[in-house]
Structure 1
């Protein structure tokens, strides 16, 4: 009996240590720091909301900043806003990210980029059956194809810089990764147009202010992290969907390995709560009918 207890104790102690050592050996890429000061940071969707706040923050930290958006008037307002709050001028570029030729010309004229933040994004606050197919295609063009256009245009300059310090390409995720972000009028207006069930499910997650998102996102970019969750739900989602994704921290890899099963249970609990809310809503609608 004593030998059995000793064996279990040894497994309990040595198995996690062995796993940590193994992960430290195999985890790639190695950790890297992305400097911001005196470097060129290019922010898309930079005329308002999270993009504007990111541009303002990196300008404060000493970066040379270029912001890109479609609306020139909003870009001018954003430039003035950053100058008034920081005393720093930023460059502005009015381009549709869906137009690769225009994006390529804009990126080349801006000069080699050290940190590219793809923050542009659109979405429709309505049920799919009520959404126009052109709007669906427009969402894919801006959110997905637009990001491909930006990266393809920026990569040659990023690879051929004389400054050999580490560079970064960051993609601001959908609400799946950052649940409940509040920050500007256009977003608030879309919240009001949300389908009732979407509003019910969204209220199950904590809201975040733009400043919180910017701080966590920028810290994640500077630390070279592959996933940069901004709240607890996003953290769980990053673990649950890690799969074969890169991981720079062997300690974080250890957490992913030992907790993925638990996170799956937590995810199912979220689903159980959401289905309960849906069933309750449908029952209320039947009474109203």
Structure 2
């Protein structure tokens, strides 16, 4: 079955980790893909792995002019975007009193403003088509607090708020807006976080892994494919009654 046959799906941060897993499932479901990211070589490698109809756009989602150019290029290549997955994100930790304004602003720009800009650019095409799916990859940090990541938590809470507000605004337009909120997930981003924890605390990376894994009641990390399965379900035609939700993929943590 290819339930997304004929649909154009754009995934940001699509070259690795959760974004790559999402792109693979959407392609398997029949969607035409635009992969968006900052590294053309990494995007090209991902496109070769996927095969099929894949378009690439190199873009920094925090830059409005780049977002407008990228969305225009994607629509020129594959038509209006029917499915937008705002996956691009970044995490950085710092005690609150050591959190500089630059870090605060960067977390907001990458994790919240980027989704705002991409959604504004893609939404007119969805409205014209009369059908759309917007899925924002938030985090359990959008549903609860964690120490030392106040800026990240604030940004992800903001993304969940944006999701809920836009879902109501678009409720009668046949466009759904949802958030998927993973817990700690086996990605390169997690490995970077573990290295920083080990460096700052003097513990080994293995010890840091164990501590973070125990925050999940299943005592493990989430797999990118598990997050992708939740995203795919929200993009399917049969999920039209589901909107404004923030779905945790975290083994029961939230």
Instruction: State the Cα RMSD in Å.
Output: 2.3
Aligned positions, number: 193
Q: 2:62 aligns with which of 79, 87, 98?
A: 98
- Aligned partner of residue 141 in structure 1, secondary structure: helix
Task: Select between 110-119 and 134-143 the one with higher mean Cα deviation.
Answer: 134-143
Q: 2:132 aligns with which of 160, 164, 167?
A: 167
User: Which structure's CA Rg is the greater one?
Assistant: 1
- 1:187 equivalent in structure 2: 190
Alpha-carbon separation, structure 1, partners of 2:226 and 2:67:
30
State yes or no: 1:229 paired with 2:232. no
- Aligned partner of residue 160 in structure 1, secondary structure: helix
State yes or no: 1:55 paired with 2:23. yes
Alpha-carbon separation, structure 2, partners of 1:201 and 1:63:
35
Alpha-carbon separation, structure 1, partners of 2:111 and 2:16:
16
- Aligned partner of residue 193 in structure 1, secondary structure: helix
- Aligned partner of residue 73 in structure 1, secondary structure: helix
Structure 1: which 5+ runs fail to align? 1-34, 238-289
Alpha-carbon separation, structure 2, partners of 1:54 and 1:118:
11
Tell whether the 8 Å contact from 1:40 to 1:115 is kept in structure 2 after alignment: yes
Q: 1:147 aligns with which of 112, 115, 127?
A: 115
Tell whether the 8 Å contact from 1:95 to 1:103 is kept in structure 2 after alignment: yes
- 1:178 equivalent in structure 2: 182
TM-score (norm 2): 0.68
Give the superposition deviation at 1:89: 4.0
Alpha-carbon separation, structure 1, partners of 2:7 and 2:53:
14
Tell whether the 8 Å contact from 1:44 to 1:118 is kept in structure 2 after alignment: yes
After the TM superposition, which residues 1-289 of structure 1 pair with which residues of structure 2 at under 5 Å, given as runs?
36-83=4-51, 88-111=52-75, 112-161=80-129, 164=130, 166-176=131-141, 177-182=181-186, 184-194=187-197, 200=211, 203-205=214-216, 206=218, 207-222=221-236, 223-224=239-240, 225-226=242-243, 227=245, 228-233=247-252, 237=254
Larger helix proportion, structure 1 or 2?
A: 1
The C-alpha deviation readout for 1:252-279, integer Å capped at 9, x for no partner, is xxxxxxxxxxxxxxxxxxxxxxxxxxxx
The C-alpha deviation readout for 1:210-260, integer Å capped at 9, x for no partner, is 1111112211332243323324436xx4xxxxxxxxxxxxxxxxxxxxxxx
